[in-house]
Amino acid sequence: MSAITEAIYDLLAGDPTLAGLLTAYGGEPAVFTTDPVPGDATLPYVITAGDVAQAPSDTKTTRGRTVTRDVRCYTGATGSAAAVEEIAERVRELLHRQTLTISGFECIVADCSGPTAADAQDAYGRIVTVTMTIEEV
């Protein structure tokens, strides 16, 4: 697992409020860093699997990156999107305007956009997109 993935996973899985909104998988909150999720996983869960984009953010004296990552939140299609919206808003609250602890990097700032809808026939989904500016240390 990359340092960026590990930092996001640790933050999300370590939050008791978010954990209370998700099912458990393997004794831990259902926060997955692989896609697709394991076949025996049950909703609701969160997926943060890989970056959407990375761009250099170097200066004359530093090496950095701007990393964009989607955090996808899913619940069962029950007739109300309230549960998935609550999960997505909690994810946004945990990541927006925060400085994550990322091994080997200093996180300057993380900004979130969304949540945006990503519903399917059998599941409700919301995507929170986090953009982090990080510098190597």
130: Cα separation from own chain's centroid: 7
User: Tell me: the pLDDT tens digits for 19-51?
Assistant: 999 999 999 999 999 999 999 999 999 999 888
- The residue written with tokens 């997926």 in the block is 47
Amino acid at 70: D
In this predicted structure, what is the pLDDT of residue 116?
Answer: 97
In this predicted structure, what is the pLDDT of residue 130?
Answer: 96
The model's pTM is 0.92
In this predicted structure, what is the pLDDT of residue 59?
Answer: 85
Stretches where the chain sits below pLDDT 70 are none
CB 75 within 8 A of CB 83: yes
- Specify whether the backbone of 88 is left (phi greater than 0), alpha (psi in -120 to 50) or beta: alpha
- CATH number for position 60: 3.30.2000.30
- For the purposes of burial, counting CB atoms within 10 Å of the CB of 51, is it exposed (0-12), middle (13-18) or buried (19 or more)? middle
- What is the four-CA torsion angle of 105, 69, 21, 34, rounded to 10 degrees? -90
The residue segments making up the domain with residue 108 are 3-136
How many separate domains does the chain show? 1
CB 29 within 8 A of CB 102: no
